[in-house]
Amino acid sequence: MPMRISTGGPDFQILLDRQSALDISAFVVDGVDLSPGTAIPSDGDPRIDHALQGFFFTCGPDHSRHPEPIEGREDGQKYPLHGSLCGTPAGETWMSQPDEPPGSNARTEVLLANGGQARISRRWAVSPDNREVTLNDQVTNIGDRPFSPMLMYHMNIGGRLAGADTQIGGTMFGEERFGWRFGEGDRGLLCVPATAGAKDGWAEVVLGPFEALNGRSLAVRFSTHTLPFLQMWRCQSGGADVIGIEPVSHRLAKRAELAAAGEMPLLASGRTVDYALAFRIR
């Protein structure tokens, strides 16, 4: 299901993945796909191996990051890697009406690891000036038990596109900019609060410039109301060469620690929570 954005400047094409909740399998700018393709590390989960090859996939809505024990279970069962949604085919899908901004919609139901059930109502759209792609997700608890919603958006960029001048900057970093090879050796990971410096409840992070995009950069905005942290990672180990931008709902800590600190509120049956982000090439 392609979405195409044509402007007086760069030409964009987005390929949506119906087999994975309408995530983005490719983001092509002037013929250059920003996705890492097969240059990714494997954690042994075929769902994630498939998703990582694309530009964008969604962790959650019941867990993000690596597997951890399910609360209240004594059989050793764990939340799956990056949660239950990844790899779930999109349910009902439809395109925007002629009188609406161009975009695509999906309504997907997912079984949660704790036995509950959630619905993800998703809308991809294009800004009125045709320069920014926007995402609005609403997660609804449609099961008979509460759960603690967690969400993280993986935006994966091929490291092959980065060069000596490629840097990271953003509202959460103030005036600081630093090289894309953060961390040590072949890998790096950081997670920082995103609310500092946010404007009208929105934070922004910028990665670039990219020589392959004629010196342009990728800019990502996200609502800190429900995505108050920015996580980033990179891996240039073996055949892997990928950089990740990951707006996320929770700081980097174990579920038990988050719960003890009161950071894992429950979403009751019938209740909803909303998430939003946007990205553009500038």
What is the per-residue pLDDT across 112-145, written as a single tens digit (0 to 9) for each?
Answer: 999 999 999 999 998 877 789 999 999 999 999 9
- Residue 5: the pLDDT is 54
CATH number of the domain located at residue range(s) 2-281 in this protein: 2.70.98.10
pLDDT band at 74 (very low <50, low <70, confident <90, very high): confident
**Tokens 């890697």 sit at which residue?**
81
Mean pLDDT score across all residues of the chain: 93
Nearest alpha carbon to residue 122 among 134, 135, 111: 135
Who has greater pLDDT, 278 or 3? 278
pTM confidence score? 0.94
DSSP string, 121-156: EEEEEE-TTS--EEEEEEEEE-SSS-B----EEEEE
**Tokens 């609403």 sit at which residue?**
138
What is the per-residue pLDDT across 173-212, written as a single tens digit (0 to 9) for each?
Answer: 999 999 999 999 999 999 999 999 999 999 999 999 999 9
| β-strand partners of 134 | 125, 278
Q: Where are the domains of the chain?
A: 2-281
